[in-house]
């Protein structure tokens, strides 16, 4: 963030609309749960706008990871431990 703090974003299913267009995608580290639907507009609206067919998984976490829009996919049950590791790493190892 601008204040120099770590900004973590966890995208759950679904994350859509204005949230996606604003703060959700601004994190220093962005994770999503498996198969989460993440997008601003629906696929039909996008296809009509760009006049192209979209890939089948276009707005799913796995596609966004593959294309570099998110950093990792972490199941809900693993998120607590994952985020604790990230915070420990970014705090210089201090607990």
User: pLDDT confidence of 80, banded at 50, 70, 90?
Assistant: very high
Domain limits at 33? 8-90
* Structural domain contains residue 63: yes
- pTM attached to this predicted model: 0.86
* Structural domain contains residue 2: no
Position 7 scores a pLDDT of: 95
All residues at 6 or more sequence positions from 87 whose CB lies less than 8 Å from its CB, including other chains:
6
Q: Residue 44 sits in a domain of what CATH number?
A: 3.90.226.10
- Summarised one tens digit per residue, pLDDT across range 17-69 is 999 989 999 999 999 999 999 998 888 888 899 999 988 899 999 999 999 99
- Summarised one tens digit per residue, pLDDT across range 84-95 is 999 999 988 665
Residue 42 has a CB neighbour count (10 Å cut-off) of: 13
* Structural domain contains residue 3: no
Report yes or no: 64 and 35 within 8 Å, Cβ to Cβ: no
């Amino acid at each position: 963030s601008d204040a120099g703090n770590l900004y973590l974003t966890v995208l759950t299913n679904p994350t859509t609309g204005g949230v996606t267009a604003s703060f959700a995608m601004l994190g220093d580290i962005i994770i999503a749960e498996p198969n989460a639907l993440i997008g601003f507009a629906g696929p039909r609206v996008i296809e009509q706008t760009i006049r192209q067919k979209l890939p089948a998984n276009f707005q799913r976490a796995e596609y966004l990871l593959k294309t570099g829009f998110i950093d990792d996919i972490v199941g809900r049950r693993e998120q607590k431990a994952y985020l604790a590791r990230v915070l420990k790493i970014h705090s210089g190892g201090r607990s």
